[in-house]
Amino acid sequence: MIQDCIPHLVSPEDNNALISVPSAEEIKTAVFDMNGDGAPGPDGFGGHFYQHFWNVVAFDVVSKWSLCTDLSVN
């Protein structure tokens, strides 16, 4: 079969890590690892905005991320 000719580049363990839903703490870590002075995203806000106002936007950011992962196709 053709799939037998295609090498497996992602191990099952790596695949599980890639499709797992990040925790709220992992999302916060990613936000604070962003370059605060980098280019703004499609919403017009850069990393510094999210870092500075994290206590205000955290719930919305985490809940929207969870919504996106719920809608993904596995």
Per-residue pLDDT of the chain (74 residues; tens, 9 = 90+): 777 888 878 888 998 888 888 899 999 999 999 999 999 989 899 999 999 999 999 999 999 887 877 765 55
- pLDDT reported for residue 71: 65
- pLDDT reported for residue 73: 56
Give the residue ranges of DSSP H helices in 9-71.
12-19, 24-33, 47-52, 54-71
* CB distance 38 to 32 below 8 Å: no
Distances (CA, A) of 67 to 10, 52, 62: 26, 24, 9
Tally the domains of the chain: 1
DSSP letter for 44, please. S
* CB distance 38 to 46 below 8 Å: yes
Predicted model pTM: 0.71
Domain carrying residue 65 = 2-71
